[in-house]
Amino acid sequence: MAAKNTGGSTAVQPNPESAAGEPLAPPPPAAPAVATETTVSFRPGLEGVPATQSAICDIDGNRGILTYRGYPVDQLARQSSFLETAYLLIWGELPTIFQLRDFEHEVKMHRRVSFRIRDMMKCFPASGHPMDALQASAASLGLFYSRRALNDPQYIVAAVVRLIAKIPTMVAAFQLIRKGQDPIQPRDDLTYAENFLYMLTEQEPDRTAARILDACLILHAEHSLNASTFSARVTASTLTDPYAVVASAVGTLAGPLHGGANEDVLDMLEEIGTIDQVEPWLDRAIAAKQKIMGFGHREYRVKDPRAVILQGLAEELFTRFGTDPMYDLARALEAAAAGRLGAKGIYPNVDFYSGLVYRKLGIPRDLFTPIFAIARTAGWLAHWREQLGANRIFRPSQIYTGYPERTWLPLEQRPLPT
């Protein structure tokens, strides 16, 4: 039974037809029934507190299984494409051949960004972080597509296509602009990942490299109610436009406690230096209660399933393009950590090997998190749609810890600080 819309909600049922006569997107599943309210104690960071019900992603942290709409992520990474996976996440079902063809075509047709957005990006300081540039650029889309019609299925589909299509173009454009170059226009003959690598590197993309990047995007596309996804749902609950929703999520992902850990993994490996220093370094770090970057996850008690897949992708990449001594260092660190931290359920997470993959692809280190954002846009949009389907604006309570009621004093009567 569908949950009742409350609190000024807007139910959205996007299902326009494609050129082939099939719906571009299947109708969304009925919203799950709302659970009865329970009283919970204060938990910092809302750890373990259910904030919503969702049918998008499930994590079995004890067995190391991650599913998107019921499909294991390892199957998707091996057999699907990022755009097919994005379709699955956003619309709820795998597309037919006609739906996928039309979705891919629409994304290709909307990759370009307005010259006004490119001119705006040229005003950004070259020293600025790409995540800040991406947040500002994503938010600016709301100025160019200002019509807000959350009840219109065509509006929903158009917004999804625009954001999936344009976010990679914005990331690549800022990379070239900060180097003093003009952005490269997208090419319609290239796949999603191939086109991004082409715009980023100004070179013809290697098919193997593009396929591995595409799999990386799948692995980062969704991961339940993390900080940026929660931010997206809170913003969506106000019924603002989807560009503000994604910009809000990008700003949250930019924080060092959320995105950027794969950059820190490379910094850590460089600090360790050589394989013979792995165990002494690790013992010192554990004794000092120092965080081991790329290890541990609040959701998993075993090795992150995405890390397992990424390690395989890294090995494939090194076989194709040559080895990386830092990978041997990473494997030695994982082996040493297993004996020291495995009993505590601390194993490599998605960040441990992803940075090595991006490094081998020639991607600048400060673009690792923007690539995370490219992928996670699919998950954010899936949660945006789901939030609209049974909306209630977020308004959690707080536990007040300040002064009791007191009387205002005129300025001359206020005591001076001691």
- DSSP three-state, residue 10: coil
CA distance 214 to 12: 30
Respond yes or no: is residue 110 known to be catalytic. no
**Do the Cβ atoms of 358 and 212 come closer than 8 Å?**
no
Please list the residues that pair with 23 across neighbouring strands.
17
Catalytic residue among 220, 223, 297, 383: 297
Catalytic residue among 214, 304, 351, 383: 351
DSSP track, 250-292: HHHHTSTTTS-HHHHHHHHHHHH-SGGGHHHHHHHHHHTT---
CA distance 81 to 77: 7
Residues shown for the chain:
418
* Per-residue exposure over 275-301, b if at least 16 CB sit within 10 Å of its own CB, e if not: eeebbebbeebeeeeeebbbbbbeebb
CA distance 363 to 132: 18
CA distance 375 to 141: 18
Q: Which helix (H) or strand (E) holds 66?
A: strand 65-68
**Do the Cβ atoms of 243 and 141 come closer than 8 Å?**
yes
**Do the Cβ atoms of 377 and 164 come closer than 8 Å?**
yes
| Residue whose structure tokens are 């503000």 | 244
Please name the amino acid found at residue 75.
Q
Respond yes or no: is residue 304 known to be catalytic. no
First and final CA of the chain: distance in angstroms?
A: 63
**Do the Cβ atoms of 296 and 350 come closer than 8 Å?**
no
Please name the amino acid found at residue 401.
T
**Do the Cβ atoms of 353 and 199 come closer than 8 Å?**
no
Neighbours of 336 (CB within 10 A): 17
- Which of the residues are catalytic? 297, 351
